[in-house]
Amino acid sequence: MAQFEPLAPELKRQDIALAYIAAEKREGMFKPVEFLQKNPVSFPFLLDEDRSVTKAYGVYHRLSHDAFNIARPATFVISPHAIIRWIRVGESQTDRAPIESIQQQLASIR
């Protein structure tokens, strides 16, 4: 989220929509509700409390050295026609798609 929030005005100007999804319980360890109240975001934020979305998209991570019952960091670029055009799934909880790669993918579908 931190890398996208500064880009929010430009993304909206380009008619690019974002949505954040977290495999987290409302009252989970990271207290997402409290976090979002203190740090509002410009785009919709879904708490995937039962992990159904993360499982459906194949990014659910049951167990590893740095994860337990959460989603791997993932970025999906979806066309205006609801076609997934690009997917980047992190290998660990700190492995995120570089913003430059995401911007290239967004440019390719315009």
Tell me: the pLDDT tens digits for 75-85?
Answer: 999 888 888 89
Provide mean pLDDT across the span 52-65.
80
Residue 30 corresponds to which amino acid?
F
Flag whether pLDDT at 68 surpasses 70: no
CATH number, domain with residue 14: 3.40.30.10
pLDDT band for position 65 (cuts 50, 70, 90): low
SS3 content of the chain, % helix, strand, coil (to 5): 30, 25, 45
Q: How many domains does the chain have?
A: 1
The range of the structural domain enclosing residue 101 comes to 5-108
How many CA atoms within 13 Å lie on the side-chain side of 77?
17
pLDDT band for position 58 (cuts 50, 70, 90): confident
What is the rounded distance in angstroms from the CA atom of residue 101 to the CA atom of residue 25?
Answer: 30
Classify burial at 81, counting beta carbons within 10 Å of its beta carbon; exposed 0-12, middle 13-18, buried 19 or more.
exposed
